[in-house]
Structure 1
């Protein structure tokens, strides 16, 4: 992840916050070092994006075609509704940051915000942008974006399969059971079809195919998990280190100590991609049995009396570190490179 360039010559002249909903974009613009702001609203559509650019040029007296870096725009991740406008603005060269809502929520608490409206949230995002200088957002490639949509669709179908199996187990009415089994059969067919489509998609993209083959050299990582890691981790080059990738997945430990009396047990931060964490849970349990690097880590933690869930969390983090290293170096897994093996 790259931070926006804030050198004196290229520092943005304005910071913009956009509160995104399914139907509209609420915009707030502030000048650095100033609290005064201008507000505007446009539809969350392609036409609205063009009107947003026109409004920015009028309000800033800037030629955004020649110097788009004069404006830094901040949006919250909001269930995917932010992606079209973020991509549009990025394609026009503007500095765009898409931030975790938990960061802005904590910032709002620090500012003692008592109101919550679209306009208030947009102004808050603009102030947050000016103060925190969040990292620049980098859009996914079209191949990686398609893979993410496919794997998330497969995840939904598998959840539906599990739900139907539970209903069938609990049903005492043969007519209802037969109907549910018919639906389950259709869902299973769709799962098989989508799994084949995911495989075809990866095979059609040289980079994805190469990266999946590299991930599959890691004991504990199978074909399905490799696809999920590629989909949810995205381009590994946007992370500067394995620790940064682990932080993105919410797999870094969170500590809570204060003075001499407050000492809570460390736990996973879980501030990050829950889908990536779920994708690594069962593979980490398998890796504790079949991956020498992860197994050695688990043994050391067990000798220190750590609880099972702490060991599994550490194994998930170690496994993601290995995934990152394999992808970054573009070399198959080598257990000898990991201490304790």
Structure 2
């Protein structure tokens, strides 16, 4: 059991986020500043908000809630997935996922979120861009190797791929 008045599970996607409160039930908000503000107004004091790390979608909401004094936990999605599997849940909807994330937060000791500073946030974004470039370069090199294995690669195709790798260096 946790020490919070109420625990909220959040299943967040591109356009909306579903919320399930341990005592208040289900609600849905827009995934934008107005939805964040409305959710914050609906939150009781001394609440815990638990959400999965979704890469991009959870970040803005977690930062917003943290900066407004709400206790937030961002958990590993694989942990929640295994928890749902252990419960033998057959229905998979955003609403049911929010409920299961809420249960996960009530039954487990979850790590508390600490917001990134603006500099840390910018560094994280730059690392994601760099990672994207590296993946693209690797895919291009693999394509070039595949063309070479075929025997006689098209001069135009090979030249275009080679130019692409030069740009990504």
Compute the TM-score of the two structures, normalised by the length of structure 1: 0.45
Q: Say which of 122, 147, 155 aligns to 1:174.
A: 155
In structure 2, what is the Cα distance between the partners aligned to 1:164 and 1:108? 38
What secondary structure sits across from 2:145 in the alignment? helix
Counterpart among 165, 183, 191 of residue 164 in structure 2: 183
Question: Where does 1:143-154 land on structure 2 (aligned, <5 Å)?
Answer: 143-154=119-130
Distance across 2 between alignment mates of 1:96 and 1:178: 50
Going from structure 1 to structure 2, the CA distance change for 1:185 and 1:40 (only over 3 Å counts) comes to same
Is the 2:63–2:115 Cα contact (8 Å) retained in structure 1? yes
What's the CA shift for 1:75? 0.3
2:76 pairs, out of 97, 100, 116, with 100
Q: Separation in 1 of the partners of 2:5 and 2:145?
A: 62
Q: For residue 13 of structure 1, what is the aligned residue in structure 2?
A: 5
For structure 1, which runs of at least 5 residues remain unmatched after alignment?
1-5, 32-36, 57-61, 63-67, 189-341
Q: Distance in 1 between matches of 2:85 and 2:159?
A: 53
What is the rounded CA distance, in whole Å, between the counterparts of 2:109 and 2:58 in structure 1? 19
In terms of fraction of residues, the more helix-rich structure is 1
1:82: how far off?
Answer: 0.3
1:151 Cα offset (Å) = 2.2
Secondary structure of the equivalent of 1:26?
strand
SS of residue matched to 1:82: helix
- More RCO (CA 8 Å, sep 6+): 2
- For the residues of structure 2 that align with 1:142 and 1:22, how far apart are their CA atoms? 22
Rg bigger for which structure?
Answer: 1
1:1-341 to 2 correspondences below 5 Å? 11-31=3-23, 37-56=24-43, 62=44, 68=45, 70-171=46-147, 172-188=153-169
What's the CA shift string for 1:57-109, capped at 9, x where partnerless? xxxxx4xxxxx4x1111001112210100111111111100111121122212
Whole-angstrom distance in 2 between the partners of 1:20 and 1:135: 18
Shift of 1:156: 1.9
Classify the secondary structure of the residue corresponding to 1:135: coil
Residue deviations 1:321-341 (CA, integer Å, cap 9, x gap): xxxxxxxxxxxxxxxxxxxxx
The structure that is strand-richer by fraction is 2
| Cα distance between partner residues in 2 of 1:164 and 1:111 | 43
Cα distance between partner residues in 1 of 2:86 and 2:168? 47
Alpha-carbon distance, 1:167 to partner: 2.5
Residues 43/175 of structure 1: CA separation in 2 closer, same or farther (3 Å cut): same
Cα distance change of structure 1 residues 139 and 177 upon mapping to structure 2, 3 Å threshold: same
Q: Distance in 2 between matches of 1:15 and 1:114?
A: 23
Q: Give aligned pairs, total.
A: 163
Q: Which runs of 5+ in 2 are unaligned?
A: 148-152
1:237-293 deviation digits (Å, cap 9, x = unpaired): xxxxxxxxxxxxxxxxxxxxxxxxxxxxxxxxxxxxxxxxxxxxxxxxxxxxxxxxx
